[in-house]
Chains A and B, each alone.
Chain A
């Protein structure tokens, strides 16, 4: 993903239905990597609510992640929670997305912040009578959403294997149905790991109860991932966040353009093009905000994907928040356009309205948008596009056509989430009502 992560930070989301053991799994990862501290353990014994107690830990691992009072009362997880743990090689940021009825909203939110998805499959809730075995509808839904959001690495953790004495045949049957699902939704080469979060089997330590399983533990799999940005398919993309002017001095006409490099490389003397106005300019100075350096001079020759920079141009041209800098020679430039086809994940309780105007935020740019029409709605049960075409409601996903008041310089989401994603904001409530993935801009 193109939010700034260095290769030593792995951001992953955990997805699973209610009771698949997601909280227990995260608790297990935290506990076995020794990320749980004494006072957290002590406060667990003060907590009234108790579900299943893990034999070796002596307390309910799930409670480590059940944050809010309201959640402990109801025994469910309300909102995406973020957890942190480190191993000697990596720092992990976990988006723990709850699996109850607000699933799509939470999952989409968590997935947009992640490079990797861990999807939990409860071995006791896969119906083995059919061929292939029948996975829960939610598992299919989670896999589809994670794929839609472009997560590059997906692992299915087949949990609660302890309930079936780590039986190889059961695992194989479930694995076959997962592969079948992956093929249906276009997910290539998913990893599948038999685990017991409760007992800690194959989570951090390999289990001697699964001698037939030759693959890595879940943690080893996560540690081994290559999360570096894909070899640059896209050239330079810098959405301008802010224009800084030196005030109070007529002799100093400093103008700096602040932004984060979404992709590509930036260097002094580079010829760039400013979109959407198509004006060309030359990079004069680059000031690097991140990285350690001398207190008094952060001027640099070049900067890379993920860096926070301030740019001075040689020419005096009009640049404002929302402008996009690309290389003047870009072979595959984004097309500034006012007509967009996109997949929308609707997140708000108020359904999509075809007659209303929304604020569309794409990179640092905000424009007015109307939804011209809904082309299709994803039927989450069958994973096909239903014939029932209606205005999207909360937690639904559909393909729409949008008309914008001003053109935006968009890539497709497949090329880059940084310049291919947007959100819609309801201008009356100020709510973020939808996540958008650009399929086509013309």
Chain B
């Protein structure tokens, strides 16, 4: 399905207003407070970094949290990337560039290693590895003995996320129990855990997709270039544009075409689809996001569509 973005007068007015975005200062302050709490309360925290826009925003917030004038910024925790092996090269290049430029410590957990070890079994090599990230994530947590992991999930993304705490407790199996969450009062976060247990913390819980793009524009954050319009060979299927890649080759019966597209999320190749778009700047994307009719995950994630409750089930299994 090709999404049209009808620009009505009313929307333009709304756009002007949203560009004033002074609410970002408040969201920013809340997120920085949360990141600093993690560093204060947890002995060995880390921050997930995928090279996606939400993790780029979170990483930028972390750097602002620990920026002291002219001093070189030194984050008191490493970043962790769970690598499915099915990446767009632009995203990995971007990740490595961030590491080079900021000097942050990067730890990569490879799903390939979990497959080699036997803890992840695929039916066939090209199966989506998105759900298997949970296994590699838990193995990485165990290997490095992290007691808290910060993630860039937002509550507006999905129904199960809307109910998750900012400090989300996980048991020894990395599982989330939605019926036994700790009450979260004021800004008094309780990160206490016992040995083997774990905290997942979501500093940008209260941001929406629009907030994220406004912030990227305001702070002039660099993103992997596939977030902006580019030509790509795709196959139209089930209202999605499936990119033609080595992981997702086109079947002989499929017709492919080259379209102007951009990615709204840049996860595992096997389950991330681009949308039709000519947007080449954050401002263009804000104009689209403010009035788009399709939520981020719905338009672009093959796996979430399969089952209405798929996120809830995956979270219970330890997924982020």
CB of A369 within 8 Å of the partner chain = no
**Are A67 and B162 in contact (CB-based, < 8 A)?**
yes
Bits for A237-279, please: 1 = Cβ < 8 Å to B, else 0. Answer: 0000110101000000010101010000000000000000000
Q: Which of B36-44, B77-85, B242-250 contacts A (4 or more CB under 8 A)?
A: B36-44
**Are B293 and A68 in contact (CB-based, < 8 A)?**
no
**Are B309 and A78 in contact (CB-based, < 8 A)?**
no
**Are A260 and B309 in contact (CB-based, < 8 A)?**
no
CB of A39 within 8 Å of the partner chain = yes
**Are B188 and A422 in contact (CB-based, < 8 A)?**
yes
CA distance A106 to B163 in the complex (A): 12
Q: Which of B125-133, B204-212, B229-237 contacts A (4 or more CB under 8 A)?
A: B204-212
Tell me the count of chain A residues lying within 8 A, CB to CB, of chain B: 73
* With A40-B298, A70-B179, A289-B67 as contacts: A9 and B163 at CB distance below 8 Å: no
CA distance A435 to B188 in the complex (A): 10
Q: Which of A182-190, A193-201, A291-299 contacts B (4 or more CB under 8 A)?
A: A291-299
Bits for B282-317, please: 1 = Cβ < 8 Å to A, else 0. Answer: 000000000011110011000000001100110000
* With A299-B69, A308-B36 as contacts: A84 and B155 at CB distance below 8 Å: yes
**Are B40 and A242 in contact (CB-based, < 8 A)?**
yes
* With A84-B156, A93-B206 as contacts: A9 and B23 at CB distance below 8 Å: yes
* With A8-B23, A321-B40, A432-B190 as contacts: A43 and B308 at CB distance below 8 Å: yes
**Are A285 and B26 in contact (CB-based, < 8 A)?**
no
CB of B218 within 8 Å of the partner chain = yes
Q: Which residues of B contact A82 (CB under 8 A)?
A: 155, 162-163, 205-206
CB of B181 within 8 Å of the partner chain = yes
CB of B182 within 8 Å of the partner chain = yes
CA distance A39 to B275 in the complex (A): 14
Q: Which of B12-20, B88-96, B258-266 contacts A (4 or more CB under 8 A)?
A: B12-20
CA distance A256 to B260 in the complex (A): 48
Question: How far, in Å, is A263 (CB) from chain B's closest CB?
Answer: 13
Q: Which residues of A contact B193 (CB under 8 A)?
A: 430
CB of B32 within 8 Å of the partner chain = yes
Q: Which residues of A contact B67 (CB under 8 A)?
A: 287, 289, 298, 310
CB of A315 within 8 Å of the partner chain = no
CB of A425 within 8 Å of the partner chain = yes
CA distance A114 to B187 in the complex (A): 12
A-B contact count (CB 8 A): 191
Q: Which residues of A contact B309 (CB under 8 A)?
A: 68-69
Q: Which residues of B contact A285 (CB under 8 A)?
A: 69
**Are B68 and A307 in contact (CB-based, < 8 A)?**
no
CA distance A422 to B185 in the complex (A): 9
CA distance A430 to B198 in the complex (A): 12
**Are A68 and B33 in contact (CB-based, < 8 A)?**
no
Question: How far, in Å, is B214 (CB) from chain A's closest CB?
Answer: 10
CA distance A71 to B186 in the complex (A): 26
CB of A147 within 8 Å of the partner chain = no
Tell me the count of chain B residues lying within 8 A, CB to CB, of chain A: 66
**Are B26 and A4 in contact (CB-based, < 8 A)?**
yes
CA distance A126 to B85 in the complex (A): 61
**Are A297 and B26 in contact (CB-based, < 8 A)?**
no
Option from A68, A70, A306, A425 in Cβ contact (under 8 Å) with B190? A425
**Are A290 and B186 in contact (CB-based, < 8 A)?**
no
**Are A292 and B30 in contact (CB-based, < 8 A)?**
no
* With A67-B162, A306-B29 as contacts: A6 and B37 at CB distance below 8 Å: no
CA distance A51 to B39 in the complex (A): 45
Question: How far, in Å, is B151 (CB) from chain A's closest CB?
Answer: 16
CB of B64 within 8 Å of the partner chain = yes
* With A82-B206, A361-B188, A425-B190 as contacts: A242 and B36 at CB distance below 8 Å: yes
Option from A112, A290, A299, A361 in Cβ contact (under 8 Å) with B29? A290
Bits for B168-200, please: 1 = Cβ < 8 Å to A, else 0. Answer: 000000000011011111111010111000000
Bits for A83-103, please: 1 = Cβ < 8 Å to B, else 0. Answer: 110101101010000000000
Option from A290, A296, A321, A421 in Cβ contact (under 8 Å) with B70? A296
CA distance A418 to B187 in the complex (A): 8
- Interface CB pairs A-B, < 8 A, 9: A4-B30, A6-B26, A46-B308, A67-B162, A81-B163, A88-B14, A109-B184, A297-B70, A423-B188
Chain A residues in the interface with B (C-beta under 8 A): 3-6, 8-9, 37-40, 43, 46-47, 67-70, 78-84, 86, 88-89, 91, 93, 105-106, 108-109, 112-113, 241-242, 244, 246, 254, 256, 258, 260, 285, 287, 289-292, 296-299, 306-308, 310, 321, 347, 359, 361-362, 364, 417-418, 421-423, 425, 430-432, 435
Shortest beta-carbon contacts, A-B, top 10: A39-B298, A4-B29, A69-B309, A67-B159, A6-B26, A290-B28, A430-B192, A308-B32, A290-B29, A112-B185
